[in-house]
Amino acid sequence: MTTRTCPCGLPEPYDSCCGRFHAGASSAPTAETLMRSRYSAFVKGDAGYLLRTWHPRTRPARLELDPGMRWTGLEILDTAQGTAFHTTGTVTFRASYRGGSLHERSRFERVDGAWVYVDGEFSE
């Protein structure tokens, strides 16, 4: 990843990729795009965006991010549903950080037309 590309791993500049979602200019059109934008929000330390894109049913009251965490890459392993034609979807991914990685299968739903993160199951 260069400083010009988005942290989500797509070869686009941050401002025209996940940055537009973080700024509120538009909403992620698919569950995978939301997953990528949420990963970028973790990289950028944008807890507000993470809370705004969390399902109201499962969203915590507050979110404190570790300022020492250094995310180093995102790999999308699988997606199921989660397009404009669906109301639910899943994204399985591996997010790497300095010192390790986490592997999760995340569930997403549409609320008032917008994709939101519901919850996830961690794998080894």
- Residue pLDDT, tens place only, 72-121: 999 999 999 999 999 999 999 999 999 999 999 999 999 999 999 999 99
For the segment 45-56, what is each residue's pLDDT rounded down to a tens digit?
999 999 999 999
**2 — pLDDT class (breaks 50, 70, 90):** very low
pLDDT the model gives residue 3: 55
Contact 114, 27 (CB under 8 A): yes
Spatial neighbors of 38 by CB under 8 A, at least 6 apart, are 49, 50, 53, 117
β-sheet bridge partners, residue 116? 109
Contact 88, 109 (CB under 8 A): yes
**Residue whose tokens read 């988005």:** 6
pTM: 0.94
Quick one: average pLDDT of 3-7? 83
Contact 57, 41 (CB under 8 A): no
8 pLDDT more than 90: yes
